Structure 1
């Protein structure tokens, strides 16, 4: 999961093609009265506010995630043991970066898939221009998701066979024998399926149900927890279900916020209708992500032989990353609360707010949490 993508061919939210408006730019005072996004005259591109919003949220998310995973990987790197080969720096650092970019691409796909349900379909004059940008962007991110998943398989094979360049036979054996490889291959297949259905949505619009795209995107997320730590216990299945709920809740919350801010924030009227719906979704996701994350982390340590709680929380790499991720989620609470209880009433009143800046800060912290989560999948518990 780069996660930013400028989408060409945007249409004005004011209903381009009306005879009385052809060839003329909308007056600024009219734009302020209606709350519609303003196109920059003569450029054909999105209004500067919309472009700035996209850069803030995507830049903060990607940079936060990549920096966090690199720092966590460096801090949790295994010490070399004589006679036991370790993967080289390219694999050691390249694999977690690919994994986190995969997560970011998947989050973008989920968010863009949820967006039609948040926008609603009762005002196509406003919503359709937004969705015409969202649909091809979702297809692009789905392709990126699939390619990154396949690249992760190659790097995972190299990690398992340090000092050698993976051959097609080695990769095939890895996928056949290792659950993590099978999970990544299934995830790539779901991403490709989404790209195909997404192309139909680009052609036929919302005649291709948003629910179908959401389901396929979530199916692609399901195998991702399989690539992390495995717990040999009767509680294995409940913990895996909890992990999958955690991954899906995180993707819906993060991806939904990115999609709303990047594509809707410049239109005050549309934002006033959309943000309250997302706020309810975000509240449920916050509870789900917080509870499932704590349960997963503590249960995985408690059920692993040789790990003693509570000492392992502060003495193991895994425990420290659980703490770091918990701190990130704790930091998200005041950001989310400020947006919901302080800014949302003003957004609903169609007033100018700093919601983009606050959301960008929240999304940057989310990126840090995603980086820590990827490092968590390979961190030592002992």
Structure 2
């Protein structure tokens, strides 16, 4: 029988490694179904197996590492109470250390994606992208490569900052920087080139933020239980509140993003549509089962000793299965980015291509003042802030 100390010293890298392998393997398999089609449609030569397999594998690894960085930073700030002097407690400090390593690995993966993106876009082998002058060419001329540069820089800043921070306030700052590292990636890709790309891009940003909080938060709770950490029930309860909000945001933003690019008839008649259906099914299954199972686990933990070995093993198994399914779902999402969407329903006008929507007439002072378009990102944040203002003011009064 192992001692409590041995359980605390359990290494966490096997847990993270298993999730990365699941996501990378499935991403390579699914992307292989559509990569050849995409290359033919774009008229780009095949850059070789290192790129065609390495790009989706590295992309899903990068996104999972980013989720781990976000989730463990969120754990340090919100899921475990801080010490009375405003510093992180032991569980929070360990979570932030893991977040720092995940951020540094996320930065390295994003840097590698610059080279893979250059190889994929040019149709040249990966070896041709290795000279430093090619890196400069990539970030200057390829928008997606440039976005990976900024993501890598933000993740590097957050990862280094977390190594030297013990206070709760600075931990919250580095959590914000880690979340912001998702922004450059969300601003490129299919959403940026879609009709109504303002709505498509903003909905994708909300979708990615919610996904990082959901996936990363679950992995953080799993790692905490795996390490033998205390107050597991408290961490799981706080994560459940975050997960509920994240599921709703993901569902709404996903549906909005879906209908900027697809007709209902495209769902079952195109490779892109079938992958969307698979992702929707996986998210619905994960969301429903996750909420029901966590409610049952919390009720069980409340009625018994949450730190008992049997309760802990059950929690680890269930959250481990859920995290594995999440890694598989992220692989489906990555393969969507490698799959050409169906042809647009119509050819947009020049100004619609530039701003994302049709103008109803010439620009005049009256149209500037009297016409408006809801911004999905800042508008949603404003509505949420307005809804939270009164409760917070009453509480502080």
TM-score of the alignment, normalized to the shorter chain, above 0.5: yes
Counterpart of 1:148 in structure 2 is: 109
Q: Deviation of residue 292 (structure 1)?
A: 1.3
Counterpart of 1:245 in structure 2 is: 206
For residues 143 and 327 of structure 1, what CA distance do their matches in structure 2 show?
33
2:20 to 51, 62, 65: 62
Counterpart of 1:218 in structure 2 is: 179
Secondary structure of 2:8's counterpart equals coil
Runs of 4+ in 1 over 6 A off after TM superposition: none
**Higher-RCO chain (CA-CA 8 Å, sequence separation at least 6):** 1
Closer/same/farther in 2, CA of residues 81 and 103 from structure 1, 3 Å limit:
closer
TM-score after normalising by structure 1: 0.78
Q: Deviation of residue 285 (structure 1)?
A: 0.5
For residues 176 and 103 of structure 1, what CA distance do their matches in structure 2 show?
23
Closer/same/farther in 2, CA of residues 270 and 184 from structure 1, 3 Å limit:
same
Q: Which digits, 9 at most, give the CA deviation of each residue in 1:49-95, with x for residues without a partner?
A: x65xx477535522331122011112113157598522211110111
Counterpart of 1:100 in structure 2 is: 60
1:338 to 289, 292, 296: 292
1:191 to 155, 158, 168: 155
For residues 185 and 92 of structure 1, what CA distance do their matches in structure 2 show?
20
Please say if residues 87 and 158 of structure 1, whose CA atoms lie closer than 8 Å, have aligned partners that are also in contact.
yes
For residues 35 and 138 of structure 2, what CA distance do their matches in structure 1 show?
23
Please say if residues 57 and 359 of structure 1, whose CA atoms lie closer than 8 Å, have aligned partners that are also in contact.
no
Closer/same/farther in 2, CA of residues 84 and 173 from structure 1, 3 Å limit:
closer
Q: Which digits, 9 at most, give the CA deviation of each residue in 1:237-281, with x for residues without a partner?
A: 122111011101111111111111211466585012221111111
Counterpart of 2:258 in structure 1 is: 297
TM-score after normalising by structure 2: 0.76
1:88 to 45, 48, 58: 48
User: For structure 2, which runs of at least 5 residues remain unmatched after alignment?
Assistant: 343-397
Please say if residues 331 and 365 of structure 1, whose CA atoms lie closer than 8 Å, have aligned partners that are also in contact.
no
Counterpart of 1:374 in structure 2 is: 334
Closer/same/farther in 2, CA of residues 233 and 256 from structure 1, 3 Å limit:
closer
1:78 has 2:36 as partner: yes
For residues 229 and 115 of structure 2, what CA distance do their matches in structure 1 show?
45
Please say if residues 8 and 229 of structure 2, whose CA atoms lie closer than 8 Å, have aligned partners that are also in contact.
no
For residues 136 and 343 of structure 1, what CA distance do their matches in structure 2 show?
28
Please show how residues 234-273 of structure 1 align to structure 2 within 5 Å.
235-264=196-225, 270-273=231-234
Q: Deviation of residue 191 (structure 1)?
A: 0.7
Q: Which digits, 9 at most, give the CA deviation of each residue in 1:293-320, with x for residues without a partner?
A: 222123223xxxxxxx223212222111
Counterpart of 2:121 in structure 1 is: 160
1:320 has 2:280 as partner: no
User: For structure 1, which runs of at least 5 residues remain unmatched after alignment?
Assistant: 1-26, 29-36, 302-308
For residues 122 and 207 of structure 1, what CA distance do their matches in structure 2 show?
9
Closer/same/farther in 2, CA of residues 64 and 295 from structure 1, 3 Å limit:
farther
Closer/same/farther in 2, CA of residues 97 and 268 from structure 1, 3 Å limit:
closer
